[in-house]
Amino acid sequence: MHDPAHTRVIVGMSGGVDSSVSALLLLQQGYQVEGLFMKNWEEDDGTEYCTAKEDLADAQAVCDRIGMRLHTANFAAEYWDNVFEHFLAEYKAGRTPNPDILCNREIKFKAFLDYALSLGADMIATGHYVRRRDAEDRTELLKGLDPNKDQSYFLHAVASEQLAKSLFPVGELEKPAVRAIAELHGLATARKKDSTGICFIGERRFGDFLKQYLPARPGPIETTEGKVIGQHHGLMYHTIGQRQGLGIGGMKNATEDPWYVLAKDLTRNVLIVGQGNQHPWLFSRALHTSEMFWVNPPDFPLPRRLAAKVRYRQGDQTCTLEKTDQGFRVLFDEPQRAVTPGQSVVLYDGDVCLGGGVIETAEPWKREDEQP
């Protein structure tokens, strides 16, 4: 255990309530605490979507209130090279990436951590809802105590060595308690709305944003029988399992059931759709990943019974993890809806988040013949 009085911690201050309360709690626990606000995106189109200025002002107000120094740093170049370019490449390849996972691995727990250490810090802290547990030779990542806020899904690709240098003060709390602490201490961020969506996109329309960076290739929309029933503006605008925005309807001999994206045929640039949100094509029994990011190298043989999530906020799904020639296969006990290549599968053993990988492909549950 480290002695707080001799431990210098730099807290990532986002201008939100979670990092504000994290800083306050660390001060109360007797740590030497400073804050750091980072800018990861250079907004050059003059729009109002980027809230960085207000966020910095909020972070500064909290630091002033609790008597803490605030540093600033710009990691926009690192973010562009190590997160954003990968994000675009994934969209180009027809997948739906999750940039927040990469941002944690490459920016918050790498660029930010290294910078904090270079400023003389012993550790960093963030307002993520996760917990860590130190064993003799490893640090484990645990789910946050508040099941509604647990963010371990986003941190699964951060390795033990980085976690060992990180503190997560609000991971032991429930969100309402965090807000109550902020209110009690008059922090400017107490009632601030939780941030939503991908940080660099903010509230703007996703398609409009993507169009600035990737050429859209229009193509046909087909049914599972190969009948062309419309045109799409670009496969990148569509996600498997998604309903809205297809512009189909009023078709002869079709029921009123809404249409859903079932698959993307990249070679033919075709969007394949079907009716009903329980369409059998939407369900998978297994998925494949080529690479796993482990928090700690696994100390168990495969196959192994575990739990998994294929998206943030999904409940634990029981599964079997198997090794394959190309990587790993996750075989689910129950059919999984809308398993999406590019998103991540994250593995759990009880409360311990073991790691995860990017979904390459999904195996169909049972097409046509049986309902899941």
Ligand X SMILES: Nc1ncnc2c1ncn2[C@@H]1O[C@H](COP(=O)(O)OP(=O)(O)OP(=O)(O)O)[C@@H](O)[C@H]1O
* Gap between the Cα atoms of 110 and 362, Å rounded: 31
Q: Give the SS3 label for residue 180.
A: helix
Which is nearer to ligand X, 59 or 270 (by Cβ)? 59
199 is annotated as an active-site residue: yes
- Asked if residue 96 lies in contact with residue 341, where contact means CB atoms within 8 angstroms, the answer is yes
Residues 14-51: b if buried by 16+ CB within 10 A, e if exposed: bbbbbbbbbbbbbbeeebbbbbbbbbbbebeeeeeebb
Parallel, antiparallel, or unpaired for β 8-12 and 123-125?
A: parallel
Asked whether the beta carbons of 19 and 55 are under 8 A apart, the reply is: no
Choose the binding region for ligand X from 17-25, 179-187, 252-260, 275-283 (rule: CB under 6 A).
Answer: 17-25
Q: Among 7, 9, 10, 16, which residue interacts with ligand X (rule: CB under 6 A)?
A: 16
Identify which of residues 121 and 286 has a Cβ nearer to ligand X in the complex. Answer: 121
The count of C-alpha atoms lying within 13 angstroms of the C-alpha of 341, restricted to the half-sphere facing its C-beta, is 19
95 binds ligand X (CB under 6 A): no
User: What tokens does 33 get?
Assistant: 């605490």
Using CB under 6 A as the binding rule, the residues of this chain from 57 to 86 that contact ligand X are none
Q: Which is nearer to ligand X, 44 or 194 (CB)?
A: 194
- Using a CB cutoff of 8 Å and minimum separation of 24, what contacts does 178-183 make? 178/17, 178/18, 178/21, 179/17, 181/21, 181/24, 181/25, 182/17, 182/20, 182/21, 182/24
According to the binding rule CB under 6 A, does residue 256 interact with ligand X? no
Residue of the chain from 45, 136, 137, 194 that contacts ligand X (CB under 6 A): 194
Total residues at interface with ligand X (CB under 6 A): 16
Annotated binding site: 12-19, 38, 127
Q: Which of 13, 270, 287, 362 binds ligand X (CB under 6 A)?
A: 13
Q: What is the smallest separation between the CB atom of 138 and ligand X, expressed in angstroms?
A: 23
Closest residue by Cα to residue 208 from 24, 39, 49? 49
Q: Which residue, judged by CB position, is nearest to ligand X in the bound state?
A: 16
Cα–Cα distance between 372 and 370 in angstroms, integer? 6
CA-to-CA separations, 133 to 60, 144, 284, 297, in angstroms, rounded = 31, 12, 34, 16
Minimum distance between the CB of residue 258 and ligand X, rounded to whole angstroms? 32
127 sits near ligand X (criterion: CB under 6 A): yes
Q: Are 240 and 264 in contact (CB under 8 A)?
A: yes
* Among positions 7, 96, 98, 126, the unique one binding ligand X when judged by CB under 6 A: 126
Kindly tell me which of 16 and 280 has the beta carbon lying closer to ligand X: 16
Out of 31, 37, 332, 365, name the contact with ligand X by CB under 6 A: 37
Per CB under 6 A, the segment of 12-20, 83-91, 298-306, 352-360 that binds ligand X is: 12-20
Which entry of 63, 103, 319, 353 is annotated as an active-site residue? 103
Positions at the binding site for ATP:
12-19, 38, 127
Comparison of 108 and 285: residue with beta carbon closer to ligand X: 108
H or E stretch at 137:
none
Among 12, 202, 341, 356, which residue sits at the site for ligand X (rule: CB under 6 A)? 12
CB of 343 to ligand X, least distance (A): 17
Distance (Å, rounded) from C-alpha 38 to C-alpha 201?
A: 16
Q: Judged by CB under 6 A, which of 7, 9, 33, 108 binds ligand X?
A: 108
Q: Which residues here bind ligand X, judged by CB under 6 A?
A: 12-14, 16-19, 36-38, 108, 126-128, 194-195
Q: Active-site residues: which are they? A: 103, 199
